[in-house]
C-alpha cells in the first residue's frame, strides 16, 4: 500500500498549485491553479500526465479546491470545460461564492490585454454548476471508500485544509494557511489526526515574522504621514482578503483619529466582495463574529466608490485598487499617474510574482520602470512594503507539522532553496521524512496497513477491566530486575496492560484474531507446558550422625522426618536472615519461597545430583530444589546463600517437559 | 385509584411474585403525583422493601433504586428508611452489576452527606469494575468519599491510562486536586505524576490536554519544591518550557490553560524568559537541552515566541491571560520586562477593551515592582490611552502616570499635554487628573519649574485686575505648580509665590482633588505659607510630615522596601531590590496557593464597577460644596457607562443592575441634598418637589434593599446607611416631616443594623454610631413628642459618603409582564359589570417560592385590586420561571373601553403598610419588580 503524489504545479515554485494524489486506488486532484507569471502553456498544469487519453472522469475520483485564489483555482474552468472533466468538484461555500468573481475579474483583465481568453464567462458559470460545496468539519463521503473533510485555514475567506481518507491511509492537504489570526480572519484550526502524509505550503519556509501589531503600526504610520502631507496612497491588493483586512484596520484608525480623508475602493468587484464578506461572518475571526450582532465590521463607514475622474483630483486620498502586484489593470493605470510625485505613497503587498511591476519595485529602489518598449514611468513616490501576508511563517509550518506529526511530509508552494532548508529542519528536529518534489515529479510513500481482526471474549473482558500496574524502579532490588533496561525511566511508572496484552493469531485462510493469553492453549488445543528447574546439592553438616537401618524402614522414616523438619527450620531461619524480602514458608518437610521449593533428598541416586562433587556422604546432606523459570534469579540467590562457605557451586540443570 | 394500585401490588407480593414493570410504572406515577397521601407512600416503601427480597434482576433493581431516590426526595420523612434500604446489602453487594452499585451510590450521595458508605477497598474495586460510567462518576466524585489520599493517587494515576478520554480527564482533574492539597513529599511520586501528565500533553483529545496542562503545572511545581537547591532553577525552567510548548495548541481551552499556568511557575531564568518574547531561537538557547527527570528531554527552543503568540491570539481570553501572566514574570528580569513592554505597548492597539485594560494593568504592576521602563517611542501610544472612550482605561493609565519618573523634559511635557488633553475631552476626570498632576509635579520638581515658567503668562490674572480663573487648564497648571515645594528633588525651587495665592482661589476644587493627601485646612495653611516667601524651608514646615506616606493604590508590602514612600525611582536599576523580588517570587513559587494571583481576570467587570463606586464617592465633596449640577452630570455619565456593560456577559446582570440602582439612589440623594442643605430658602413649590423626590428615594431604597439577594453583610450595612440618611433627611425638614412614620422606620432600620452587626461582626460606620447615640437621646425625651429638626440636621451633616465596595455578585429579582397581542388597536374584550380575564405571560427571575408576589391591577387610584400569585403552584426553578397567569379584574366599569395598569410587586417583610387601602391586599409595602404594563380593554361587541 502506498500513496503516490504527483506534483503538477507549485513544486519548488509559487504558482499554479496542483497536486494529484493516489491513495488506495482513489485519485484526488488538490487545487487546479494557474501561474500568473506566464501567458503560454506553462500557465496551466500539465493535465496530460493524469491521463494520456484525456479521460479524466475515470482517472480522477474528485477535484478539491482549497480557496479562491487564482493560483489555486485559475485552471479549473479550463480543466472542466475545455479538457472535459465532469467528475465531482469540492470546495467550501465561500469559495464557491467568491471564485466566480475572481475568475470573471481575471478573464476581463485578460480580454483587456488582448490575450486569448482560454475560457469564457459561460465556462465559468458551467464549471461552477459542477461544484459541490462543503462546510467546515463536515465529513463528505465522496464514494464508498473516500472520505474528505474541510478544516479552517485562515488565509482568505473560505480557505480550507482538506483531510482525505481512503481505507487506512489518511492525509491532509493544507492549501495556503495562516497560523496567526489577523484583523478579520482567524488562525488555522485542525484536529490531531493520524496521518500518513501531510502536504503543506511553504511560502515562508525560512522567514520568521514578528507580531502583526508591529506591521499594523508601521502601515498606519506610513499612511497617516502620507495623507497628513496631502499625498495620495495607492494600495494595490487582491480584491478579496487583504483589501478587507487593511480596510478594517484603516477604518478603525480613521474612527479613532477622527480623520476625514476619503478611502476609495476601485471597482465594483470589491464592493460586491464586501457584500459577500458581510454574509459569510461565520468564516471570520472570533472578534468579528462576537461583535457582529451590534456592528458588522464590514460595514465600512468611510469607504466610497472610486471614479476614474478622481485620479487627478486634488487633495489626499487612499485608494484600494486591483490587481495586486500591479500586474496590469486599474492599479497599473493609477500607478502611472501617481508614481512620479514624491508626496504619494505606494504600498506593496508582501509577495510579488517575478515579472510584475510590484516585483520590480520591491527589488531595489528603481527610479524608472519600463512598462513596455515605448512607455517608461518615473518612480519618485515613496514605497512602503506591506509585510501583511496571509501565509504562515516558518515557525507556523513547524508548529503545524509538529502538532499533526504525520509520518511523511511534502512541501509545495515555495522557493526551492528555502524549501530545502525547511525540509532539513523537519527531518532533523521532528524526525519526519520530508520531500520537496519539483513539478511533474511523483513521490511515493508507504502507508500504514491495518488488518482487521476479531477479538475473542476473554480479550474483550480483559480490555474492559482496568489492569494498571505500577513499577517503581528505584526501590526494586537491582539483582532481581536486572539492569537490562538500558533506557532510564523515572521512579514511578504506570502502565495499563489491558489493551496491550493480547495475542494476535493469524491462521491460514482465516480471519486474524486477537485473543487473551489464557485462551491461547484452548484455541490451539495444546496442553500447558511448564519449564521446571531442579537441582540437588550437598550441604555440609557437622552435627549430623545418621544411622541407617535397613531393617526398620518405618522408624527410619520417622526419624528422618523429624530430622528433616529441624533441618528445614534451621535453613528457614538462615534464609530469612539473609533474604530481606520474599515470603519464606516452612512447610515442615519443605521450604518454599515463591515457586522455589527445597527439600532434603534422601535418594542415593537423585537424578538432579552431581555425584562427583560429593566427597563424603556422611558429612553432607543433600538438598533437592526445584523452581519454575520465573523465579530463576531468586533460586540461584538462595542456593548461593546455602552454599556460601561450603562447596563451590557446580550445578546441573534438568529440564522436564 | 391509589387503592387500586396498592391492591395489585399487595396481591403480587402475597403470591411471592416479583413486581412487574407495569406495577413499577404505576408506583412511579404514585410517587410523582403530588396529591398522593403520605400513608400510601409509606406503604409503597414497604412494598418495595418486600419486593427486594423476591427479585435480584438487575433491571428491576435499577428501577427500584430510581423509585427509592424519588420517594425519599419527595417525602423527607421517609428518606431514612429509603437510605437504609439503599445501603442494605441487597443493593450494594450485587457484584454482578457494578452499574447498579454505582447508581445506588450516587443516589445515596445525593440524599445524604455521610461519607462512610465506601471504604478504600470498595472504592478501588468499584473503580476497577468494567462499567465505565460508574468509574467516571466515582473519579469525579472521589472527594465525597472517605478514601485515603494515597489510594486516590494510585487510582487517579492508574486511570490516566484509561482508553476512555473522559476517564483520563477525570483522573487528571483528580491528580490536580491532590497536588493542590500538597500532602505528597515523595519525590518519586511527584516525578511519576509529572511524567504521566507530560505524556498526556500529546493526547488526541482537547478535553484531556487541558487538564494535562494543569497537572504539568501543579506537579511540575511539586517536583521543583522537592528537589535540592542547585537543581531547582533548571527544573523550573524545564517545566516552564514544557508549558510553553502548549501555547500553540489548536484548542483555545488548552492555550488558555497554558497561559494561566505560565504565570504560576515561580522562578524562570532570564534566558528562557527572553526566548518567550522572540520567535527566533536565541543564540544562547540553541542546543540547550533540559532533562527535568530521567526519560524526559526538552529543548529550550520550545519556549520560542510563546508570549508573541499569546498576545496575538485570536481569542481575547487567551490574550488577557497572556497579559496577566506577564505580570508575574516581568519581576524576574529587567531585560525581559523591557521586551515584554514592547509587546504590551502594541496591545494598547487591541480591538478589545478588556485586553487593553489588562495590558495597562500589567504595566501598572510593572511600575509598582520597579521595572517599567517606558521609552520615547512608546510614549505616543501610551498617552493615547488617555483619550480612550472607556473611563476605566483612562483611570489605569493615570494610575501608571502617578508612579512615573521621567528622564527627559520632553517626555514630561508630553505627559502633561496628554493629561491636559484628557481633562479637556473628559471634564469628569478632573479630580483624578489633578491628583495625578500633583504627584507628577512632586516627582519632577525641576521639570515642573521649567514648565511653569513657560506657561506663567497663562496663569496671570486677566487684564483689568479681575481674576479670570475660569479655565480648568489654569487650575491644572496651578495644581502642578503648588506641588513643587513638596518635591522629592532637593533643589527644586523657583515657583513665584504669587502662584500660590492664585491657587487659594481654587481651594475647594484643589483640596477636593488632593483630599487623599491633605485636608482643606492643611492645604490652605500650606498655600498661604508658600505665598508669603519665595524660599520656604520645608524642614520646619510640618506639612511634609503630615502627608500620608502611602499612595492609595500601592501595595504596602512593596512600599516598605522602598526608601521614599511616594516616589518609585523607575530608572534606577537597583540590584538589591530586584534580588528582593527574586526571593519574593521564590516563595511564591513554593507556596501552593496564589490567592493574590488567582484573583481572576474574570472579575474585570466587578473591578470596573468598583471604580464607578469610587468615583461616586469622590463626587460627594462636590455635592457638599453645592456643585449639584456637576455631580449630577457625572453620575449620569457613570450611569451611561454602567449601562454599556450590560451586553458584556449574562452572568453579571445582577451586579450591573445593582450598580445602576445605586447610582439612581445617589442621584436622588444629591437632588434632595441640594434642597435641604443649602442656605437658600425653599420656595413654596419646592416643598412639593422635595416631597416627590423623597418618595422616589424611599421607593428606590426599598428596591435596592429588597430586590437584590446575595449581598454580603458589609454591603447590606452600607445600604442601611443610605436608608438612615434618607430618614434623617425627611426628619430634618419640618415642612414635610411625617414624624412618626419616619421615626418608626429609622428605629427599625437601626435595629436591623444592630442585628447585622451582631451577626457578621462588622463594625458599623462612624455615622451610624452617631445616629444611634442621638436617637437614644431623642428616645429618652420621647414623651414630649417634639421633632428636633436641628438635631437631625446635625446628624445629616455628620454623614460621610463611604465608598461602596462590591465583592459578591448580587442576584437581581426581576419580573417581566407581557400580554401577548394586546395594544390599543387590538384590545381585550370585557362585559361591564362582569369580571374580565387578563391573560398575562409572566417571567420571574431569581424569585424563590418564599417570596410573596402580588399583581397590582389598577384602573385608577381608587379602583386598585391586588391578586396574589402563589408560586408554589408554579413550576420552574428559582432562576427563571415563565408561565401564563390569567388574572381576573372584578371592577369592570360601565364604559366602552378603558385601560388597566398592571405590575408585579413583592411584599417586603417588616415594612407594614401604614394605610390599608384595599381589603385582602398585601400587608406589607410592595417593592415593584416590573415596570407598569398598560392593558387595553374594550367592550365586547358580540353580546
Query: Considering only CA atoms, which of B655, B681, B806, B768 is closest in space to residue B733?
Result: B681
Burial of A373 (0-12, 13-18, 19+ CB in 10 A): exposed
Sign of CA dihedral B192, B193, B197, B203: positive
What phi, psi does A508 have (nearest 5°)?
-60, 130
A89-92/A62-64 β-pairing: parallel
Q: Where are the alpha helices (DSSP H) in B426-496?
A: 430-443, 445-459, 472-482
Cell 478501588 appears where? B124
Q: A192 contacts in B (CB within 8 Å)?
A: 204, 250
At B244 the pLDDT is: 93
What phi, psi does A472 have (nearest 5°)?
-125, 90
Query: Considering only CA atoms, which of B21, B19, B26 is closest in space to residue B49?
Result: B19
Q: Where are the alpha helices (DSSP H) in B38-186?
A: 38-52, 58-74, 79-87, 89-92, 98-111, 120-127, 132-140, 149-159, 165-181
Residue B346 has its nearest CB partner, among A192, A214, A495, at: A214
A317-321/A232-236 β-pairing: parallel
Query: Considering only CA atoms, which of A207, A260, A215 is closest in space to residue A425?
Result: A207
Sign of CA dihedral B815, B819, B825, B827: negative
Contact, B124 vs B100, CB < 8 A?
Answer: no
Alpha-carbon dihedral angle through residues B754, B760, B765, B770, given to the nearest 10 degrees: 20
The answer to whether the Cβ–Cβ distance between A491 and B127 falls below 8 Å is no
Sign of CA dihedral B665, B668, B672, B674: positive
From CA B351, how far away is CA A255, in angstroms rounded? 12
* The C-alpha cell that represents B149 in the structure block: 489520599
The answer to whether the Cβ–Cβ distance between A286 and B314 falls below 8 Å is yes
The answer to whether the Cβ–Cβ distance between B304 and A395 falls below 8 Å is yes
Find out whether the peptide bond into A323 is cis, omega within 30 degrees of 0.
Answer: yes
Tell me, what's the ipTM?
0.76
Tell me the nearest-neighbour CA distance from B127 into chain A, angstroms.
8
3-state secondary structure of B452: helix
Query: Considering only CA atoms, which of B393, B387, B453 is closest in space to residue B423?
Result: B387
Give the rounded distance of the alpha carbon of A93 from its chain centre.
Answer: 26
Question: Number of CB pairs < 8 Å for A and B?
Answer: 115
Query: Considering only CA atoms, which of B680, B778, B684, B678 is closest in space to residue B727?
Result: B778
* The C-alpha cell that represents B60 in the structure block: 428491576
Residue A490 has its nearest CB partner, among B135, B192, B313, at: B192
The answer to whether the Cβ–Cβ distance between A213 and B312 falls below 8 Å is yes
At A543 the pLDDT is: 47
Q: B195 contacts in A (CB within 8 Å)?
A: 490, 492-493
The answer to whether the Cβ–Cβ distance between A470 and B135 falls below 8 Å is no
Which stretches in chain A have pLDDT values below 50?
A: 474-490, 543-559, 561, 645-657
Residue B416: how many other CB atoms lie within 10 Å? 22
Q: Give pLDDT tens digits for B51-73.
A: 877 777 777 888 888 888 888 87
From CA B394, how far away is CA B357, in angstroms rounded? 9
From CA B544, how far away is CA A12, in angstroms rounded? 74
Q: Is A201 a catalytic residue?
A: yes
Contact, A171 vs A198, CB < 8 A?
Answer: yes
* The C-alpha cell that represents A175 in the structure block: 492549501
- Which residues are CB-neighbours of B545 under 8 A, at least 6 positions away? none
Q: B163 contacts in A (CB within 8 Å)?
A: 463, 499
How many residues are listed for chain B in this entry?
Answer: 943
The answer to whether the Cβ–Cβ distance between A213 and B161 falls below 8 Å is no
Helix (H) or strand (E) holding A90: strand A89-92
Residue B934: how many other CB atoms lie within 10 Å? 13
Query: Considering only CA atoms, which of B231, B202, B241, B235 is closest in space to residue B221?
Result: B235
Q: Give pLDDT tens digits for A268-324.
A: 666 777 788 888 888 888 888 888 878 888 888 888 888 888 888 888 999 988 777
Q: B280 contacts in A (CB within 8 Å)?
A: 208
In chain A, the residue whose alpha carbon lies closest to the alpha carbon of B164 is A464
The answer to whether the Cβ–Cβ distance between A286 and B295 falls below 8 Å is no
Contact, B854 vs B874, CB < 8 A?
Answer: no
At B919 the pLDDT is: 56
Residue B189 has its nearest CB partner, among A181, A399, A492, at: A492
Give the rounded distance of the alpha carbon of B32 from its chain centre.
Answer: 40
**Proportion of chain B above pLDDT 90, given as a percent:** 10
Tell me the nearest-neighbour CA distance from B408 into chain A, angstroms.
24
The answer to whether the Cβ–Cβ distance between A181 and B314 falls below 8 Å is yes
Residue B192 has its nearest CB partner, among A189, A286, A494, at: A494
Sign of CA dihedral B388, B390, B393, B398: positive
Contact, B346 vs B383, CB < 8 A?
Answer: no
CA count, 13 A, side-chain hemisphere, B853: 28
Q: B304 contacts in A (CB within 8 Å)?
A: 395
The answer to whether the Cβ–Cβ distance between B127 and A403 falls below 8 Å is no
Helix (H) or strand (E) holding B828: strand B828-830
Alpha-carbon dihedral angle through residues A634, A640, A641, A645, given to the nearest 10 degrees: 180
The interface residues of chain A toward chain B in range 91-120, judged by CB-CB distance below 8 A, are none
The answer to whether the Cβ–Cβ distance between B308 and A287 falls below 8 Å is no
Residue A186 has its nearest CB partner, among B154, B314, B346, at: B314
From CA A284, how far away is CA A278, in angstroms rounded? 10
Residue A490 has its nearest CB partner, among B160, B293, B308, at: B293
Does A491 contact chain B (CB < 8 Å)? yes
The interface residues of chain A toward chain B in range 361-420, judged by CB-CB distance below 8 A, are 393, 395, 399, 403
Helix (H) or strand (E) holding B368: helix B353-368
Query: Considering only CA atoms, which of B687, B661, B669 is closest in space to residue B631?
Result: B669
The DSSP bridge partners found for residue B889 are B836
CA count, 13 A, side-chain hemisphere, A425: 17
In chain A, the residue whose alpha carbon lies closest to the alpha carbon of B378 is A217
At B637 the pLDDT is: 80
The interface residues of chain A toward chain B in range 172-231, judged by CB-CB distance below 8 A, are 179-181, 183, 186-187, 189-192, 208-214, 216-217
From CA B139, how far away is CA B123, in angstroms rounded? 10
Contact, A163 vs A134, CB < 8 A?
Answer: no
Query: Could you state, in chain order, the average pLDDT of each consecutive group of 10 residues for chain B (943 residues)?
Result: 78 78 84 82 83 76 82 80 72 63 75 66 80 85 82 87 89 91 77 90 90 93 83 89 92 93 87 90 85 84 91 91 90 87 86 87 86 80 82 88 85 90 86 90 85 80 51 84 77 73 82 81 81 55 45 34 32 36 39 36 67 80 73 81 65 78 86 68 65 84 82 80 82 70 79 75 74 72 57 76 75 83 82 83 81 83 79 71 83 83 81 55 78 84 58
Q: A501 contacts in B (CB within 8 Å)?
A: none
* R_g of chain A computed on alpha carbons: 40
Strands (E), A255-393: 263-265, 303-305, 317-321, 345-348, 368-370, 376-378, 382-385
The answer to whether the Cβ–Cβ distance between B154 and A470 falls below 8 Å is yes
The DSSP bridge partners found for residue A433 are A408
The answer to whether the Cβ–Cβ distance between A181 and B313 falls below 8 Å is yes
Tell me the nearest-neighbour CA distance from A140 into chain B, angstroms.
22
Among A13, A81, A126, A201, the active-site one is A201
* The C-alpha cell that represents A400 in the structure block: 503545524
- Which residues are CB-neighbours of A76 under 8 A, at least 6 positions away? A32, A63, A65, A89, A99, A103, A127
Contact, A145 vs A167, CB < 8 A?
Answer: yes
What phi, psi does A207 have (nearest 5°)?
-75, 140
The answer to whether the Cβ–Cβ distance between A499 and B189 falls below 8 Å is no
From CA B596, how far away is CA B574, in angstroms rounded? 25
Determine the residue among B133, B245, B311, B349 to mutate to test chain A binding: the one whose Cβ has the most chain A Cβ atoms within 10 Å.
B349
From CA B36, how far away is CA B888, in angstroms rounded? 30
Tell me the nearest-neighbour CA distance from B811 into chain A, angstroms.
26
Q: A212 contacts in B (CB within 8 Å)?
A: 312
Q: B129 contacts in A (CB within 8 Å)?
A: 465
Tell me the nearest-neighbour CA distance from B305 into chain A, angstroms.
9
Does A465 contact chain B (CB < 8 Å)? yes
The answer to whether the Cβ–Cβ distance between B159 and A465 falls below 8 Å is no
Tell me the nearest-neighbour CA distance from B293 into chain A, angstroms.
7
The answer to whether the Cβ–Cβ distance between A465 and B128 falls below 8 Å is yes
Amino acid at each position: 500500500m502506498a500513496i503516490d503524489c504527483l506534483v503538477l504545479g507549485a513544486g519548488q515554485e509559487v504558482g499554479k498549485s496542483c497536486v494529484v494524489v493516489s491513495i488506495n486506488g482513489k485519485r484526488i486532484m488538490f487545487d487546479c491553479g494557474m501561474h500568473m507569471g506566464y501567458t503560454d502553456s506553462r500557465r496551466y498544469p500539465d493535465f496530460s500526465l493524469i491521463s494520456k487519453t484525456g479521460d479524466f472522469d475515470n482517472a480522477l475520483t474528485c477535484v478539491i479546491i482549497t480557496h479562491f485564489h487564482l493560483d489555486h483555482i485559475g485552471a479549473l474552468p479550463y480543466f472542466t470545460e475545455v479538457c472535459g472533466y465532469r467528475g465531482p468538484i469540492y470546495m467550501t461555500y465561500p469559495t464557491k461564492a467568491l471564485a466566480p468573481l475572481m475568475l470573471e475579474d481575471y478573464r476581463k483583465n485578460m480580454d483587456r490585454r488582448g490575450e486569448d481568453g482560454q475560457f469564457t464567462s459561460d465556462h465559468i458559470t458551467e464549471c461552477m454548476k459542477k461544484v459541490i460545496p462543503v462546510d467546515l468539519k463536515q465529513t463528505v463521503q465522496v464514494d464508498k471508500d473516500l472520505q474528505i473533510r474541510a478544516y479552517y485555514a485562515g488565509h482568505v475567506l473560505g480557505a480550507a485544509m482538506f483531510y482525505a481518507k481512503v481505507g487506512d491511509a489518511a492525509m491532509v492537504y493544507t492549501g495556503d494557511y495562516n497560523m496567526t489570526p489577523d484583523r478579520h480572519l482567524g488562525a488555522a484550526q485542525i484536529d490531531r489526526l493520524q496521518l500518513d502524509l501531510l502536504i503543506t505550503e511553504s511560502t515562508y519556509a525560512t522567514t520568521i515574522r514578528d507580531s502583526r501589531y508591529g506591521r499594523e503600526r508601521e502601515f498606519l504610520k506610513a499612511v497617516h504621514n502620507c495623507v497628513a502631507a496631502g499625498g495620495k496612497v495607492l494600495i494595490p491588493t487582491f480584491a478579496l482578503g487583504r483589501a478587507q483586512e487593511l480596510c478594517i484596520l484603516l477604518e478603525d484608525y480613521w474612527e479613532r483619529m477622527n480623520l476625514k480623508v476619503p478611502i476609495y475602493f476601485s471597482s465594483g468587484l470589491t464592493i460586491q466582495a464586501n457584500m459577500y464578506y458581510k454574509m459569510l461572518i461565520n468564516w471570520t475571526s472570533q472578534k468579528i463574529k462576537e461583535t457582529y450582532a451590534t456592528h458588522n465590521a464590514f460595514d465600512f463607514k468611510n469607504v466610497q466608490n472610486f471614479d476614474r475622474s478622481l485620479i487627478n483630483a486634488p487633495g489626499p486620498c487612499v485608494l484600494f485598487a486591483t490587481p495586486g502586484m500591479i500586474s496590469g489593470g486599474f492599479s497599473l493605470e493609477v500607478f502611472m499617474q501617481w508614481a512620479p510625485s514624491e508626496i504619494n505613497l505606494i504600498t506593496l503587498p508582501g509577495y510579488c510574482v517575478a515579472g510584475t511591476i510590484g516585483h520590480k519595485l520591491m527589488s531595489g529602489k528603481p527610479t524608472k520602470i519600463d512598462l513596455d518598449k515605448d512607455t517608461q514611468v518615473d518612480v519618485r513616490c515613496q514605497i512602503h512594503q506591506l509585510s501583511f501576508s496571509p501565509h504562515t511563517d516558518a515557525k507556523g509550518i513547524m508548529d503545524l507539522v509538529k502538532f499533526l506529526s504525520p509520518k511523511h511530509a511534502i512541501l509545495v508552494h515555495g522557493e526551492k532553496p528555502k524549501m530545502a532548508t525547511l525540509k532539513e529542519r523537519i527531518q532533523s528536529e521532528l524526525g519526519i521524512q520530508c520531500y520537496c518534489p519539483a513539478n511533474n515529479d511523483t513521490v511515493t510513500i508507504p502507508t500504514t496497513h491495518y488488518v482487521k481482526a476479531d477479538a475473542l471474549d476473554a480479550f474483550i473482558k480483559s480490555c474492559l477491566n482496568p489492569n494498571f500496574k505500577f513499577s517503581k524502579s528505584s526501590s526494586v532490588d537491582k539483582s532481581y530486575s536486572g539492569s537490562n533496561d538500558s533506557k532510564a525511566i523515572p521512579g514511578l511508572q504506570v502502565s495499563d496492560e489491558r489493551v496491550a496484552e493480547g495475542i494476535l493469531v493469524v491462521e491460514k485462510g482465516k480471519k486474524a484474531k486477537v485473543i487473551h493469553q489464557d485462551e491461547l492453549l484452548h484455541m490451539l488445543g495444546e496442553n500447558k507446558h511448564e519449564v521446571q528447574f531442579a537441582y540437588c546439592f550437598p550441604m555440609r553438616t557437622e552435627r549430623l550422625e545418621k544411622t541407617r537401618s535397613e531393617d526398620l524402614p518405618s522408624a527410619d522414616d520417622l526419624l528422618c522426618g523429624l530430622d528433616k523438619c529441624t533441618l528445614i527450620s534451621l535453613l528457614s531461619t538462615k534464609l530469612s536472615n539473609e533474604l530481606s524480602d520474599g515470603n519464606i514458608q516452612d512447610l515442615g518437610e519443605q521450604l518454599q519461597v515463591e515457586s522455589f521449593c527445597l527439600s532434603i533428598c534422601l535418594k542415593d541416586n537423585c537424578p538432579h545430583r552431581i555425584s562427583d562433587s560429593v566427597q563424603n556422604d556422611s558429612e553432607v546432606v543433600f538438598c533437592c530444589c526445584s523452581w519454575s523459570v520465573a523465579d530463576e534469579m531468586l533460586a540461584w540467590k538462595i542456593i548461593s546463600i546455602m552454599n556460601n562457605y561450603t562447596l563451590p557451586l557446580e550445578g546441573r540443570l534438568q529440564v522436564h517437559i | 385509584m391509589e387503592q387500586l394500585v396498592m391492591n395489585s401490588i399487595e396481591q403480587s407480593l402475597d403470591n411471592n411474585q416479583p413486581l412487574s414493570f407495569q406495577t413499577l410504572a404505576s408506583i412511579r406515577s404514585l410517587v410523582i403525583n403530588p396529591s398522593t397521601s403520605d400513608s400510601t407512600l409509606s406503604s409503597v416503601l414497604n412494598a418495595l422493601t418486600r419486593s427486594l427480597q423476591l427479585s435480584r434482576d438487575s433491571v428491576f433493581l435499577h428501577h427500584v433504586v430510581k423509585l427509592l431516590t424519588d420517594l425519599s426526595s419527595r417525602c423527607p420523612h421517609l428518606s431514612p428508611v429509603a437510605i437504609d434500604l439503599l445501603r442494605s446489602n441487597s443493593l450494594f453487594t450485587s457484584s454482578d452489576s457494578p452499574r447498579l452499585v454505582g447508581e445506588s451510590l450516587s443516589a445515596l450521595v445525593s440524599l445524604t452527606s455521610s461519607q462512610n458508605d465506601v471504604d478504600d477497598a470498595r472504592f478501588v474495586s468499584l473503580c476497577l469494575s468494567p462499567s465505565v460510567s460508574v468509574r467516571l462518576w466515582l473519579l469525579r466524585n472521589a472527594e465525597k468519599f472517605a478514601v485515603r489520599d494515597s489510594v486516590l493517587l494510585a487510582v487517579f494515576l492508574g486511570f490516566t491510562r484509561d482508553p476512555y478520554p473522559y476517564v483520563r480527564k477525570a483522573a487528571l482533574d483528580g491528580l490536580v486536586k491532590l497536588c493542590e492539597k500538597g500532602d505528597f513529599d515523595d519525590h518519586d511520586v511527584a516525578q511519576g505524576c509529572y511524567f504521566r501528565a507530560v505524556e498526556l500533553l500529546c493526547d488526541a483529545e482537547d478535553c484531556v490536554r487541558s487538564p494535562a496542562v494543569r497537572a504539568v503545572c501543579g506537579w511540575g511545581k511539586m517536583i521543583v519544591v522537592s528537589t535540592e537547591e542547585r537543581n531547582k532553577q533548571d527544573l523550573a525552567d524545564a517545566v516552564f518550557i514544557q508549558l510553553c510548548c502548549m501555547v500553540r495548541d489548536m484548542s483555545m481551552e488548552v492555550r488558555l490553560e497554558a497561559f494561566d499556568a505560565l504565570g504560576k511557575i515561580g522562578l524562570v531564568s532570564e534566558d528562557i524568559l527572553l526566548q518567550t518574547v522572540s520567535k527566533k531561537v536565541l543564540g544562547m538557547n540553541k542546543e540547550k537541552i533540559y532533562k527535568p527527570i530521567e526519560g524526559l528531554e526538552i529543548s529550550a527552543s520550545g519556549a520560542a515566541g510563546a508570549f508573541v503568540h499569546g498576545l496575538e491570539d485570536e481569542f481575547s481570553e487567551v490574550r488577557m491571560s497572556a497579559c496577566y501572566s506577564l505580570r508575574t514574570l516581568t519581576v524576574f528580569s529587567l531585560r525581559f520586562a523591557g521586551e515584554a513592554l514592547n509587546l504590551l505597548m502594541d496591545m494598547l492597539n487591541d480591538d478589545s477593551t478588556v485586553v487593553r485594560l489588562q495590558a495597562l494593568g500589567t504595566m501598572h504592576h510593572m511600575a509598582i515592582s520597579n521595572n517599567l521602563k517606558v521609552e520615547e517611542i512608546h510614549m505616543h501610544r501610551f498617552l493615547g490611552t488617555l483619550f480612550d472612550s472607556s473611563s476605566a482605561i483612562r483611570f489605569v493609565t493615570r494610575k501608571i502616570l502617578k508612579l512615573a519618573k521621567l528622564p527627559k523634559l520632553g517626555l514630561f511635557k508630553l505627559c502633561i499635554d496628554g493629561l491636559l488633553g484628557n481633562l479637556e475631552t473628559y471634564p469628569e476626570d478632573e479630580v483624578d487628573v489633578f491628583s495625578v498632576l500633583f504627584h507628577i509635579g512632586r516627582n519632577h520638581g525641576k521639570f515642573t519649574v521649567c514648565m511653569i515658567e513657560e506657561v506663567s503668562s497663562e496663569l496671570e490674572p486677566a487684564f483689568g485686575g479681575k481674576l479670570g480663573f475660569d479655565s480648568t487648564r489654569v487650575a491644572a497648571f496651578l495644581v502642578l505648580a503648588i506641588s513643587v515645594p513638596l518635591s522629592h528633588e532637593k533643589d527644586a525651587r523657583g515657583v513665584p509665590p504669587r502662584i500660590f495665592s492664585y491657587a487659594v482661589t481654587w481651594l475647594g476644587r484643589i483640596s477636593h482633588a488632593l483630599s487623599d493627601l491633605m485636608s482643606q485646612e492643611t492645604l490652605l495653611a500650606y498655600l498661604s505659607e508658600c505665598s508669603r516667601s519665595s524660599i520656604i524651608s520645608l524642614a520646619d514646615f510640618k506639612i511634609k510630615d503630615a502627608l500620608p506616606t502611602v499612595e492609595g493604590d500601592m501595595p504596602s508590602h512593596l512600599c516598605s522596601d522602598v526608601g521614599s514612600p511616594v516616589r518609585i525611582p523607575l530608572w534606577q536599576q537597583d540590584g538589591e531590590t530586584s534580588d528582593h523580588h527574586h526571593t519574593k517570587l521564590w516563595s511564591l513559587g513554593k507556596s501552593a496557593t496564589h490567592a493574590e494571583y488567582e484573583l481572576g481576570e474574570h472579575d474585570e467587570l466587578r473591578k470596573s464597577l468598583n471604580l464607578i463606586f469610587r468615583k461616586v464617592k469622590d463626587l460627594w465633596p462636590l455635592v457638599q460644596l453645592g456643585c449639584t449640577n456637576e455631580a449630577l452630570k457625572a453620575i449620569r455619565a457613570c450611569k451611561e457607562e454602567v449601562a454599556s456593560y450590560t451586553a458584556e456577559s449574562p452572568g453579571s446582570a445582577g451586579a450591573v443592575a445593582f450598580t445602576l440602582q445605586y447610582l439612581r439612589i445617589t442621584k436622588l440623594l444629591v437632588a434632595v441634598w441640594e434642597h435641604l442643605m443649602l442656605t437658600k430658602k425653599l420656595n413654596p413649590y419646592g416643598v412639593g418637589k422635595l416631597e416627590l423626590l423623597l418618595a422616589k428615594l424611599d421607593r428606590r431604597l426599598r428596591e435596592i434593599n429588597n430586590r437584590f439577594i446575595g449581598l454580603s453583610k458589609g454591603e447590606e450595612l452600607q445600604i442601611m446607611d443610605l436608608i438612615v440618611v434618607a430618614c434623617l433627611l425627611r426628619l430634618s425638614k419640618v415642612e414635610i416631616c411625617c414624624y412618626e412614620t419616619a421615626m418608626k422606620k429609622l428605629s427599625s432600620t437601626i435595629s436591623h443594623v444592630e442585628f447585622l452587626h451582631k451577626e457578621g461582626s462588622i463594625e458599623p460606620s462612624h455615622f451610624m454610631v452617631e445616629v444611634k447615640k442621638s436617637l437614644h437621646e431623642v428616645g429618652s425625651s420621647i414623651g414630649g413628642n417634639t421633632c428636633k429638626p436641628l438635631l437631625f440636621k446635625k446628624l445629616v451633616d455628620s454623614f460621610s459618603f463611604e465608598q461602596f465596595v462590591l465583592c459578591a455578585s448580587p442576584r437581581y429579582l426581576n419580573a417581566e409582564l407581557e400580554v401577548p397581542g394586546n395594544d390599543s388597536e387590538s384590545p381585550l374584550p370585557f362585559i361591564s359589570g362582569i369580571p374580565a380575564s387578563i391573560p398575562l405571560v409572566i417571567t420571574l427571575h431569581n424569585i424563590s417560592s418564599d417570596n410573596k408576589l402580588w399583581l397590582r391591577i389598577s384602573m385608577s387610584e381608587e379602583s386598585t385590586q391586588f391578586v396574589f400569585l402563589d408560586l408554589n403552584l408554579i413550576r420552574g426553578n428559582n432562576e427563571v420561571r415563565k408561565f401564563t397567569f390569567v388574572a381576573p379584574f372584578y371592577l369592570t366599569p360601565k364604559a366602552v373601553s378603558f385601560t388597566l395598569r398592571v405590575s408585579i410587586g413583592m411584599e417586603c417583610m417588616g415594612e407594614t403598610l401604614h394605610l390599608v387601602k384595599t381589603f385582602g391586599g398585601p400587608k406589607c409595602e410592595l417593592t415593584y419588580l416590573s415596570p407598569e404594563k398598560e392593558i387595553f380593554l374594550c367592550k365586547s361587541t358580540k353580546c
